[in-house]
Each structure stands twice: as C-alpha cells, then as structure tokens.
Structure 1
C-alpha cells in the first residue's frame, strides 16, 4: 500500500484524486460483497441488519447421484469459486462438508451440485443448527434494532423491520421447492400445462360462440359478417391457441414434433385459408351467405367456397376444454401427500417435565424445531407431524397417507406422520422428524418413480410424435389427390383439415404411460411401493412365487416347542448355552431361545448351572451358525468341578445325515430344529414352533388358483419344511438351504425357465437381485430407517407384513397390462379409421376434432379406473 501511495504522489494531483476515488469505490464494492455495509452517504447505523449476519457457519450435505470419484475434485473446485466457501467431499459416505459465510443461501451451494447431476440435501443436524442460529440472529437483530431506534426516526425503523422480515420470508427455511417434482413434470413434447387455464378457455369461448352461431345459422348472417368473424376469430387463433403454437415451435427448434402440432397447423391453416378465400373469391362479397352442414362435407357448397373460421375457433376451444378436463380427472398422489405433509411452521404442544419441581410444562413450538425424544400432545382430529411411539392415551388413528388401515393405538404402539388422530388425546414421543419419516420416504419413492416413469415413457411419446409428420404428409397427399381428381380446392382442403383435426397422437402417447402411472400410484395408496412401470409388466409374466418361510409366511413370534438332551447331558444346561449363544441376534428364532432360557433360569432350583454364562469371541458364519467361547462348569481329571472355557456352536442341520439317535428323531419330530454343541459333541436339540400368518393360507390358495406355482424356501430339514408347507398348501419346498445359498437356489430355479417373484423381508435381499421381481414384505417392521428402502434390491416394497395383498398385486398387474394393451390397440385403430374417413371425405373437420378429443378421453377414463387396487 505504501508503494502505491508513493506512486500516486508522483502523478498529477487531479489524476491522483480520480484514481483514489476509483480505489475507494472498488473497496466499497468488495466490502458490500462481503456483507459489510459502507453507508453510501447514509447513516451507518441504518445498515445494522447487514452486520447481524456477520460470521461463518458450516453445512453438512447428504449427496445422491455421486457416481464417480473423479467428480469430487471438479465439484470442490467449483464450490470454492464462491466467495468464502471451503468445501470437502467424502466420496465413500456421499457427504459434503461446506464452510461458508452465514449470509450465504444454501440453495446456491445445492445449485452447484445440481450442475454436476448430483442432488444435495442438508442433513438434519445442519437444519437444526440453522434453525437455532436463526433464533440467535433474531435475538441479536432485536437488540441491535432497539439500539438503532434511539438514533433513527420511527418511520425508518419500521421500514427496515418490514424489509428484514420480507428477506427472512424468502430465506431457505421457507422454500418448498422439490426438484424431483420439477423433473417429474417435465415433458418436452407435450403442451405446457401452465399456459392452459380457465381464463384462456373462457376468453376463447366468448369470441368463438358468436363465430359458431353465425357460421351455422344463416338467418344470423348479415352484410360483412365474414369479416366480423375474421376479426373475432383472430384472438382465438393467436392467443387462445398459443399453447399449441408454442409447443409446435419448441418441438421444431429441438428437431421433434410436439403432440399438438397437427392441431396447431390445422387451426392456423383454417384461419389463413378463410381469410385468403375472402380476399380472392366470392365468399368475401358483401351479400354472401353460407349454409354449411354440421356433420359431413357438401361438394356443391365447396364449389362455391367455404369459410373455416368455425373450425379454427371450435378446434381451439375443444382442445383447451379437453386438456383442462383431463387435468381435473387425473388424481395425483403427490398432490394428495402434499396436503398431508405437516407444515414446518405448524405449532405443536411439547410437554416437558421440570427436573427440580416435577411439574409438567407445556409450550408451543413449530414442527421444524422438534427433536428426537420430545413428547408432543396431539388433539383429536389433528394431523400427527412425526413418527413416534405413544406414551400416553389411546385413540384410533387413520394413516391413510401411507396406505395403512386405521387402527386403535395405545401406549407403546407406533404412529406415523401424516396420520389423523381420532377421538381422544394422544401423547407421542418423537422418533423421527422431517425427511426421516415414513411419509417423507413414501413421497420420495413416488416422486422418484414418476421420474423413472417419465424416462421410460419418453420412447412412447416420441413414437406417438412420429404420427404428426405422418399425418401432415397424408394431409398434403390427400389435398393434392382431391384437387387433381375433383378440381375442387375447397373440398380438398376440407378433407386435409379433417385429417389434421382427427389425428390423436396424445391418445397414443398416454395409452400405456397413464395406465402405468395410475397403477403405481393406486398401489402406493394401499401401502405397496412399485419401482417402475416395467415392474408391472414383469409381474404379469411371473409364473412362480418363492416365499422365504421366515418373514413372509411365518408370524413374528416363535416359541420353543421341545428341548431334547443327549444321554447324560443336563437339559437346562443345553437350553442355557443356546440362549447365551443367541443373545446377540435379533432373529425371531434367537429371541425365542433367549426368552425360553431366561424362563428356565428363573425357574431353576439347582446351583450346578451358573446364573450367567460368560460368552466371548462371538461370531456368525456364512451359514448363520453361532460360534463362541463359553464358560461352563466341567469336571477335571481329578473329578472336581471347575469353570472352563470351551468352544460352543448353535447350528441348524441341513439334512438328516448330520444327526443320529435320539437327536435325529427329535430334529424331524417337531418344528424348526437347532443343535447345541460344545467340545465337538452334539449335546441337544431345541425345536421351535411358529404359527403361519393368518392370511398366508388364503394367499397361497389364491395364487394357485391364478395358475401361479408356489414354492417355499427354508433352512429346515425336508421333513420339517414339507410338513410346514403342507399346512399352507405350498406346492414345492426347497429345504435345507443356508442363507448364503438362497440366492444361488433362486437362480437355479430361474435357469430352468421359471419367471420368479421372490417374497421375503430384507434378510433375503440377495435373492431379490436374481429373481425377475423382488417383493420385500413388512418393511415398516423390519428396516431400521425408512430411507433404507431406497437402497433396497426389491422391485416392490410392501409396508405392512400381510401376505393377502400379494395375490391382489398380481391380479392388479394383469389388469393394468390388459388395459395398456387394449388402449394401444384402440389408439392405433382410431387413428387409422379417422384418417381413412377423413380421406374419404365423409368426416367434417369439426366432427373430426370432437372424435379426437373423445378418443383421448376414453383412454383417460379407462386408465384412471385401473388406479383402484
């Protein structure tokens, strides 16, 4: 800086002042970019709100779509180009840590990620920290505002307060933008929905009704009536039909044909032809009167000339009305879920107990400030904003948003966000909030499915769009042939106009996609999440269903049925060792053994078995067997009893050859057998019983009646598994299959030509990969976090554990595919017949437009009806 001042001292004083002023301006601009006000001639205290936000903050972003580690460096470099931003991306955990000025909008950082195709969302901790920091900022602001009011007028302070409040309302916490919804609603080849609204239709109708009446009723015609119709129809053809013209222009710029291009061209040609005819033929004369037909074309009238203002206006109004009607008849699940998503600013009552006085205090806080562990009070009729567990009261809740049936809940029962409380007050302890709830996960799943479905439907849309240039070529050829054969240009143009008005590419485009979309959303309304439309096609082709016994067919609870000890072994010790080995597992089998071992310990009257058996070096092998070192009372060489560590195993036999004697007999006589071994010798067999689910037998029977073969996959020996399968009516049993070999077994069945649907919980996720369709059942009862189903290998995720919806799912898929096939056949048949009738000259252009709309509505109605699961 000193060198720069010396340099300035050597120059002309006037130049020096100008350069100094320039340096000061640049410094002010730099200060303003950094968030520090320079006053700019005003009172420096007037910019106190800018100083409130000074400081640094940090963000944690969870990333999705980070498919390559090579992207990390590029994204970090792009982020650090923002002022004051320091970014580090951890590729293995798909997490980004960003340090930036507290004034920066996190949306700016998210937009940088989106440019690389990576979706970033703030973590829960960052959101809570940002909310807490906003409270701190609010307090700092009010204190600084009080100081400022001592030196400013009341009007200035109120104006600054309004500006600051508006700025806060535009902040990050107020934004409800969902990028999935934007991407899911993008259709390049369709007409923009935002441009089609009631105002456009009503204005078009106001201009079109006089045109139609005067055109079709000669007694209403007067001198210069045709010129009046030209003026009335001009705004309809231009402004009213602008959405279709805009789509046509956009498609042409992209080298594609918009689906409404044929209608757009027909509307413009009808108006231009009519104006040209008035200028160069007798239809423009003062005393001309027209007597048009309503349904068919009249060759005699065509020879004297015809006006098509009625066609241009009628086609525009019919298209606008049809698009609005279609929009209102469609049910969008995301819109319904939006209404059930709790607003983040909604106030809820939180109950807290004072540790010193024991008094329970109630305070109102917004939903966005709730934390895990808070106790909230939900009044009757209110929306439950969180996933939680009931800790007080009982009521009936209606979780319609998740597709789950209404249920009575009491203490220790779980409730979910989006549910409506019934008739009584509930006290709920928060387990999950915000985007971690099941409601948010269902919303994300449906939104992602819509995105995937849009990509899959793109081919069908492009195929349908090829009908537009084909119809234009057919219309041109039709016009040329009629003109050459009859010499009547008006009739030739009328037939060509009927070709363009009757073609229905939209009906062809939505014939498959709409039914698939409605089917997916209809299933989601019943708690069944389907990955994509291709899954419904795969379900229709399935001829074999493989059930994993545990998780799919058996109930949640298992019970120890018998305990058989080898000769000379202590029965209680066998059970106690098994309980010690199974203590670390959450499997239903393990829970049943641990429960029985504790009951035996509490009931025992002997001191030979210790109350607690020490377990060390615990491990589970690939077959699911438990290995550990246990400390047991054993006799030494002198016959004295002492505690010694021995290797113990709790394992499940694959076949009968692995056991002999009384243990082999016990293993096949009852339920699921487990063998207890220590010091290399089998000491006993524990058999367990689990009742099938209440609806399992009906579900298996329903599948068999549909012609679908059923199989059961089990680790049990064949006699035990066969007995269990016979009780349910399962056709085939795949027994003695260890967990590590289940995927290979499913693959081998598929290689024999079977189209397989694998049904089970998340423990058989590897089987989902090799099956044609993977159906994960009981997701809400087995997965730890709702977001884990996004990474599931299953194509279908059922939130509840019932088996009965599985046959309905297959019937549902068959119905949807049947509707899709019939829709496609109807759309192609209609387009061919409509073109033939138009070419033959028996179809009026206005009637052709009505038929085009009718064909689209028929497909819409048929597709909307399949949404009922």
Structure 2
C-alpha cells in the first residue's frame, strides 16, 4: 500500500506532466521568482512545503518565515501558477511580486517566440498531448500576467491570490458565447418568420420552406450558447438553468420540420393562422408549425441575457477601470533637490515609494494613498470608500486616496500607501473574496432552481400524454408541452437571492462598509442589540488630559511624569495623551528637579489583565532624617471600575466628576487622579437615534466606573451601559448578553478585536491597514461560536452603523419578496400551460418578464 502526505497529490500529478520533458528542462535556463506569503501560520510547516516544491523537477526553494517570503528557482518550463498551487494546498496564499511578474512576462514572450520557431522547424514531429497542454497553460498564464497590473484576479496564477477570483457566473455556463452578433443574426432571420407567421395575408407560396431554412441559423448558431450550456451541464452532472428553453427551441424546430415533410403543411399554398389556446389547434393531419416559437424564444433569451450582463457592471469592473496604470509616469518632488530648473523627477508609478511627494495636476487621477502637504484642490469621489463627496475640497493635512480624480487645483501628496497597499486595492481584494465565497453559497440556490428543469421536462411529457389521450390532437398536445418548457423560469428563482446579495455587498463597499459575505446580511437583519466600545467608535481617536487632582501633600507634576514613564511605549490614545501632557510639563520646567526629576525612567513595565500598568520608577524620596534620595519604587497606573475601590475624599470626587479617570499609585498609596477627556464624534447622537428608530437596543462597554460611563451614555442617548468591565473581561460581557437571547452586533476598533469576534456580528471600525490585516482571517476563520470579523467600516462616522443595518434589512425584504414571487410565478405558469391557457410565445414572454422583474427589484439595492 502506498501512502502520501496530505497536500502532495496534485504535486505528483504535476510531476507526471514533467516526466517526458526532464531532458528538455535540463537544457533550459532557470528563472528566479519571489513570492509574498499569506497564511503561513508556523515555522514547522515550512519543511513540508519545501519538500512538496522540491518534488517538482528542477525547483529549488528557500522560505524565510519572519519575512513570509519565498525565493524560488525553477526551470522556465515550470509555470508560476503551478508553484502557487502547491502553496495553496497547505492553506498558504502565494502572490508573486511585481518585479518577478514583469520578468516572467518578458521571459514568457521570449519562450513563446522560441516555441513558434521550433514548431515551424519540426512540423513532422507532433508533440505529446501533455506538452501541448502545458504550453497552452503557459501562454494563458502570460496573457493573465500581461493584464494583471496592480491587482491580482486569477487563483493560483502569476501574481494572483486564490481568494481574488473574478466573480464566477453561477447562472450561465456559456456566458462568454452570448454576444450581440448572435442576437443580430437572430433578429435578421427570426423576425421575418415571426411577422409572416402571424400575418396570413403575407404568406406567399412556399413561405413555410423559406421559413424553415431561415430559422436554421437562428436555432443552431444563435441559440448555441444555451445548447452548449445544456450539454456541458449534462457532462458535469448539473442542469443548466436554460435547459428547458433549449429543449423547447430544438423540439419546436424539429416538430415544424417533421410537419413540413409528413403533413399537408409542406404543400404549396398552405397557410398558418395564430392560435392562442390549445383547444383551437389543428389536427396532426393538417399540420402545425412552431418556427415562430423557436425563433422568438431564441431572440428573447439572447436579449434578456445581454441586458442582464450589461446591467451587472460590478464594483470590481469599476475599480479596474479607475486603477492607476503602474507604468504611467508621475511627477515626484524629491526632497533635497535644489535646482530651480528641474525641481521634479518623472518616474513610473511602480517605482514610487512610501514617503515620496507626488504632484497631481487638475484632471489627473490620484495614483496613491496619502495626505496633502501642499496646494489645494477639488476632488471627485473614487469608486470605493464613501468618505468623499462630489466637490470636496482638500487642503494640507487632508487624506486622499488612489482612484479619486483631481477636478480643480494642484496638490502635492505625501505617499503613505501605493500599489497593493492602497485602499482601492484592499477593497478590491475584500470584495473579490466576498463575491467568491458568496458565489459558492449561491450554488445551493442555483442547484435548487435547476431542479425545475427535470421537473418541467417530466411535466411536459406527462402533459403531452394526457392531452393526447384526452383530445387525440397531437398538435394541441405538443403546444401545451412546449408552453410548459417555455414558461418555467429557474433563472428568476436563482436570481431571487443571488443578485440582491451581490448588489448589497457592492453597494456597501462603495460607501466604505465591507461585508464578509451574503450570510452576514442575514445576520445583520436579525440583530436586535448594537453594542459599542466607547473609544474608537463613539469618540475621536485623540484624547487630552483635562485635569490632574493630587492627594494631599502630592505634586501633580510628579504624577504626570510617573504616569508618562509607565505608558510611554503604549500607542493607546489614553497613553499618548498622558505622554503628551507629561512632555509639556517637562518642557515648562517650573518645578524643582530635586523634587520632580526632569526625566523619570520606568523599568519592568507590565500590563496586567485588567489593563493596569505596573513598573519600577526612580523617585526622590525622603528618609527618616528628611534627606531626599532617589530610590526605585513600584508604581501603578490603574483605572477604577467601581466607586468602592477608592476611599471617600478628594480622589473619589475627582473620579466621579467626569471624564476618564486614571489613578497613580506608588508604594501602595494612591497619589492622585489624572482625568482625560475625549471628543464625541459629531454624528454619534444622530446615529444612536437612527438605531433607536430601527427598534434596536443600544449598549456601551466601558472600563470606567458606572457614574462616569452613565454620564457619557446619557449625552448620546444610549439605552444601557456595561461599566467597570476590564479589557480581558469584555468578551465575557458580550457572551453574557448573547446568552440572555439577544442577537448582538459588536462595534469596536482594533483594541477590542477579541471582543468583536465573539459577537453574532463583529463590526470593526478602522483604516485601510485594518482591512489588510483582517482580510484573510475574517473571510476564512469561523470556529464554533468565535469567528473572524464580519464587517469592516473604513469610514470614521458612526452613521455607517445604522446605514449598514438599514441596508441589510432592505436586502432581506427584497430577497423574501423575490423568492415568493419566483415560486408563485413558476407554479401558476406551469398550471396555466398544462391547462392550455398559454401559447408557447406568451409563455416565453412571461418567463423573461419574471426574470426582468426580479432583476429590477434587486437593482433597488444599489440605492444606498
């Protein structure tokens, strides 16, 4: 028995493809690639991945875990997509760097020229099918690399990420074949047939034979996308959604041809009159043609699919249309260049680095993310983000993002992010991954809708048999069966959910709200409680020291310096405010340095589970004789969670007075209270009111004592406050609310990421870096009740929260109405067709109309 390590099966298959080319590979030069790795969890995994890659003939690899980078040398005959596929088997996303992708493209073109030359020299020697397939794969990989630019779209290929696939079309397997040319041919030959069929006065001798000849290209070539979809579905064990329609088209044509050959319908001077009900149809001996049905159904199907494809321009297409060309030239102002005649340097965009200053003239698209450091301009909003409005004016200090257009003015932008790091690129990766996962989920509803096809075929056969046995009229029997096939609308049923969800994901992304997938929309619709972490959501990110209350006999300046020394290495807004106040106090220098040292150094600083800072600081202390001497003492900076933690007196009154209180303690005694204040975001009260109007309960999590937290909550109108909750206990607080039956959406920033994960819906408010950070984890991680981030809000306004919930409710209402309409239509249409009340042409129009109606309903989601 032969066993193999998991994840190496396809590597073995790849090796088989290379077996008959090892001799050629030895003569080919090696190519070096550099891959950035995502999802590499642990260093021990490296050995298995390297072994799997070394199994490919000629491949040598070195993976550096701290940098999450792989350097690979491989024969030029080995495609990078094959290497990326090996990484993907271990759950690692390998993305080729831009430099490697450019080099590979150049080498691919050279290899392509060599291969064409070799083919001309060896026409008598036919290469093996394996070699031909590998050559075709390399050509396709080169084409994809040529169009890649900054963004990666195809899984497992050059510079591509497995999650960044183009949205699969789960509805039509031959979508690329549906072209305008096929519609024009159908109209050219099909419309005259329909017009003549319904106007007996225009039916000239032998018109029926001319009609069957003219209908042939319509039925065969114009309807070929639907025929191929049916055949491809049968080969894969699936059912194409247009399967019933293609069967109806072929059946109508073959029936008409048979009538011309075997009945009086083929006689000279025979005329046809339209009959709308089954009981009116002629007997089989008199003949009956359905060429109008075959042509009309083809025209309507092509027209409907083309309209659908045109109306579904996705946000990914919009981003791609606005993405900056990496080879475009930009003006860069290099700091240190003093020549007045040549103050700028012109560089390709792909050579611009973080920290460079880019000049953007009026009419140009801003190519990078950054901040304005000079000039002023009026900008138009980009494809994503939702933070810019038409005609927004930017000045020095204003943030700008790639993809926005400079309408008027001239600005200098300090580059913060470029290429794959921009907000536009991060949003594209997120939406591509969300759409990819949503398409997989939509396959379930598509397969359910596809069950209508065999059901319709069965009903059509039963209907044909019953009508034949009851009436004895084959024409009427065939007409009702044809109407059954024409009326069934599985596309409408499949669209009922998929299209509304897709528009919901894209509409939210356009406004800076990134949804993980369609399942999140349903979860948001069921939310009844919205919980906020105070800092980073309801308030601005910056805080300031409002007051310092010292205990009797203590120096307030010394309190600030001790607190600043403890928190100097923390990037939390509270810590930064204290450090800023301590530095201002030091710069004033009004205190005696023997009492308040100019610098205080803290060592062995630790952060406890409840968020307190502890450490050793050097302080001047008086001994028994009253002599001051510097001694190390243990100092603590802590936040009171209840009023009982402080004795009554000056300090307790300072804690309850307002603001965020922090208590400074050393040598076991509380020395004073530092009170900080932050600014409520301007739209926060209105956003809380909007949530109340939606019937939602609002809560706030806070480490502060209840009086402090309740006073802050009253200013916003929040319903409930969970006060005195230590950072490590916040996830438990969310779980306790959930166990009482509430469906919780937790809104917070990066500081409470663990708390966000335990909510029913985790909503993270953060910048573009946050979106890049949680992109892979939030899409794939979902373990038990704890899962990754469900929503990332790139905006800085609280109003995004009620907008997100309102959108989710609207999407779910539209989905429910679409599903009800789709099922109701299919049931009524099938019954009417079987009863002989629907002509096949009328059934076709109704079928297409149902799909158009559902698409129009779903398009309403685009209005955010």
Common topology (TM > 0.5): yes
Give the alignment partner of residue 153 of structure 2, picking from 166, 169, 178.
178
CA distance in 2, matches of 1:273, 1:70: 67
Question: Structure 1 residues 580, 538: closer, same or farther in 2, change over 3 A?
Answer: same
Counterpart residue number, 1:621:
608
Larger Rg, first or second structure (1 or 2): 1
Q: Which moved more, 1:357-366 or 1:843-852?
A: 357-366
CA distance in 2, matches of 1:482, 1:631: 101
Give the alignment partner of residue 352 of structure 2, picking from 359, 370, 388.
370
After superposition, the C-alpha distances for 1:219-256 in whole angstroms (9 at most, x for unaligned) are 22122222221111111111111111111111111222
After superposition, the C-alpha distances for 1:178-213 in whole angstroms (9 at most, x for unaligned) are 115984433466242100010011011111022112
> What is the CA-CA distance between 1:437 and the residue it aligns to?
1.3
CA distance in 1, matches of 2:630, 2:278: 106
CA distance in 2, matches of 1:816, 1:169: 40
CA distance in 2, matches of 1:721, 1:77: 57
After superposition, the C-alpha distances for 1:769-805 in whole angstroms (9 at most, x for unaligned) are 211111112334xx46734444353211110121112
Question: Structure 1 residues 644, 134: closer, same or farther in 2, change over 3 A?
Answer: farther
CA contact (8 A) 1:711 1:733 kept: yes
CA contact (8 A) 1:274 1:308 kept: yes
Q: Which moved more, 1:429-438 or 1:809-818?
A: 429-438
CA distance in 1, matches of 2:639, 2:705: 9
CA distance in 2, matches of 1:201, 1:118: 44
CA contact (8 A) 1:354 1:360 kept: no
Q: Which moved more, 1:466-475 or 1:250-259?
A: 250-259
Give the alignment partner of residue 618 of structure 2, picking from 631, 644, 655.
631
CA contact (8 A) 1:128 1:369 kept: no
> What is the CA-CA distance between 1:655 and the residue it aligns to?
0.8
> What is the CA-CA distance between 1:646 and the residue it aligns to?
1.0
Pairs within 5 Å for 1:280-679: 280-293=262-275, 295-297=276-278, 299-302=280-283, 304-353=286-335, 361-402=343-384, 403-406=386-389, 407-607=392-592, 608-660=595-647, 661-679=649-667
1:60 match: secondary structure? strand
2:624 match: secondary structure? coil
CA distance in 2, matches of 1:320, 1:298: 31
Counterpart residue number, 2:175:
193
1:613 match: secondary structure? coil
Q: Which moved more, 1:491-500 or 1:83-92?
A: 83-92
1:774 match: secondary structure? strand
CA distance in 2, matches of 1:174, 1:268: 40
CA distance in 1, matches of 2:852, 2:427: 30
1:866 match: secondary structure? helix
CA contact (8 A) 2:281 2:476 kept: no
Counterpart residue number, 1:253:
235
**1:227 aligned onto 2:175:** no
Counterpart residue number, 1:749:
737
CA distance in 2, matches of 1:215, 1:353: 78
Question: Structure 1 residues 74, 266: closer, same or farther in 2, change over 3 A?
Answer: farther
Q: Which moved more, 1:653-662 or 1:390-399?
A: 390-399
Give the alignment partner of residue 686 of structure 1, picking from 668, 674, 677.
674
CA distance in 2, matches of 1:391, 1:385: 16
> What is the CA-CA distance between 1:136 and the residue it aligns to?
14
Q: Which moved more, 1:73-82 or 1:726-735?
A: 73-82
CA contact (8 A) 2:365 2:404 kept: yes
CA distance in 2, matches of 1:853, 1:584: 65
Aligned-pair RMSD on alpha carbons? 2.9
CA distance in 2, matches of 1:767, 1:365: 45
CA distance in 2, matches of 1:167, 1:255: 27
Counterpart residue number, 2:695:
707
Counterpart residue number, 1:848:
843
1:392 match: secondary structure? strand
1:609 match: secondary structure? coil
2:640 match: secondary structure? coil
Counterpart residue number, 1:48:
none
Counterpart residue number, 1:816:
811
> What is the CA-CA distance between 1:605 and the residue it aligns to?
2.0
Give the alignment partner of residue 861 of structure 1, picking from 843, 856, 861.
856
Question: Structure 1 residues 237, 30: closer, same or farther in 2, change over 3 A?
Answer: closer
> What is the CA-CA distance between 1:439 and the residue it aligns to?
0.9
Instruction: Give 5+ residue unaligned stretches, structure 2.
Output: 1-20, 110-138, 156-162, 779-787
CA distance in 1, matches of 2:187, 2:87: 46
CA distance in 1, matches of 2:805, 2:714: 23
Pairs within 5 Å for 1:105-120: 106-107=80-81, 109-113=83-87, 119-120=93-94
After superposition, the C-alpha distances for 1:283-336 in whole angstroms (9 at most, x for unaligned) are 12223111123x444525356331001101110111001100111122311000
Counterpart residue number, 1:62:
37
> What is the CA-CA distance between 1:739 and the residue it aligns to?
0.5
**1:791 aligned onto 2:785:** no
CA distance in 2, matches of 1:476, 1:167: 45
1:691 match: secondary structure? strand
CA contact (8 A) 2:81 2:141 kept: no
CA distance in 2, matches of 1:632, 1:761: 36
CA contact (8 A) 1:131 1:369 kept: no
CA distance in 2, matches of 1:349, 1:703: 47
> What is the CA-CA distance between 1:649 and the residue it aligns to?
0.8
TM-score by length of 2: 0.86
CA contact (8 A) 1:558 1:689 kept: yes
Question: Structure 1 residues 59, 300: closer, same or farther in 2, change over 3 A?
Answer: closer
Counterpart residue number, 1:86:
60
TM-score by length of 1: 0.86
Counterpart residue number, 1:801:
796
> What is the CA-CA distance between 1:361 and the residue it aligns to?
4.1
> What is the CA-CA distance between 1:102 and the residue it aligns to?
8.1
CA contact (8 A) 1:191 1:260 kept: no
> What is the CA-CA distance between 1:615 and the residue it aligns to?
1.6
CA contact (8 A) 2:170 2:442 kept: no
CA distance in 1, matches of 2:101, 2:807: 46
Instruction: Give 5+ residue unaligned stretches, structure 1.
Output: 1-28, 37-53, 139-165
Q: Which moved more, 1:442-451 or 1:271-280?
A: 271-280
> What is the CA-CA distance between 1:112 and the residue it aligns to?
4.8
Question: Structure 1 residues 171, 768: closer, same or farther in 2, change over 3 A?
Answer: closer
CA distance in 2, matches of 1:477, 1:31: 63
2:453 match: secondary structure? helix
CA distance in 1, matches of 2:296, 2:508: 39
CA distance in 2, matches of 1:514, 1:785: 25
CA contact (8 A) 1:35 1:103 kept: no
> What is the CA-CA distance between 1:101 and the residue it aligns to?
6.1
**1:276 aligned onto 2:258:** yes
Counterpart residue number, 1:831:
826
CA contact (8 A) 2:662 2:674 kept: yes
Counterpart residue number, 1:738:
726
Q: Which moved more, 1:451-460 or 1:608-617?
A: 608-617
Question: Structure 1 residues 291, 349: closer, same or farther in 2, change over 3 A?
Answer: same
